[in-house]
Structure 1
Amino acid sequence: MKINKFAVRALALLAGAIGCVAFAGFSGEGAASAAVQCSVSGGHQVERIVGASGCGAKAGPGSRATAEDLSNGGTAIAVSDNGGTAHSYNLQPGSSALAGANSRGTAYSFTTGPKALSIAQARRGGTAVSIGGWGGQAYAGPDGAQCSGGFAAAVDTTTGKACLHSGSIDFRN
């Protein structure tokens, strides 16, 4: 059995990045506010706007979608269909997390820094993960993975592409 060493390294790098992002996003100081949450499944749709925060989730038959804005000033959108699962989480004001999943795909989109954009589009049973932080833009989907701006990381298992961008670090396959 041949193991794709790059894929293993990329997944390990992404797991480390997600851990750092989760620590930074959930341990920092900030104004206390209630999260705006949207979660649906099986052919339902919901939108919520509270102050400057908004979320929207739409799920087709056999699908699930969850969107959550914790920033008190950003947007999270998740859309899924044909058995897909989409999750989007925005943690900082002025940022947007967008996730879409189709055909049993699973998408995760996170924004952890201000003025970030994160887009994850999963399809055909694959997984797409994108993390945009501190002015970064991350994309994972049919065109592979693209990272730019401040901090950004993305992986798309359907295309086998991954990227990480932070300052002078610019890794992509």
Structure 2
Amino acid sequence: MKPAIYLSIFCLMTLFGCKSTAPLHTIEQLDIKRYSGTWYEIARITHRFEKGLEKVSATYTLRNDGKITVLNQGIKVSDPGVVKTAKGVAWIPDPSKPAQLKVSFFWPFAGNYWIIDLDADYQHALIGDPSRKYLWILSRTKTMDAATYNRLTDIAAKAGFDISKLDRIRQ
């Protein structure tokens, strides 16, 4: 009898202890030509590859083969004379989900680059991934008004991102 009780308790703990993540919704339509160009990082959940960087920008250039060249640049806070760059390639694996891109800076490894929100004028974007570990707030300009920033952080929070981990990026 006791083993059955312990097994039941273990199963219940496993069931209720697991964190379920709802599917991450992305925008339905994307004009990749309009999305191309330079974007400035307004805020991000910082990870190892961006630690210590400010004045970060990403430039997306559409290639003839339909893929996108990605050029990320940032200035090292500890050494303002050093520009750190990373060049990669992005693509849309499923044309029926154009806002769910993959990006690779080191083949064969690729990460998710999902466009969660994008204003009609292609001036502000919210980028994340289904794990909720990566999040960026981007703008075509180096600044963003508080109302737009708050709108995007509200969307991120409702989508399950921990916005307390967001770092504002000095441009």
TM-score by length of 1: 0.28
Pick the structure with greater CA Rg: 2
Larger RCO (alpha carbons 8 Å, 6+ apart): 2
As a proportion of its length, which structure holds more helix?
A: 2
TM-score by length of 2: 0.28
Higher share in strand: 1
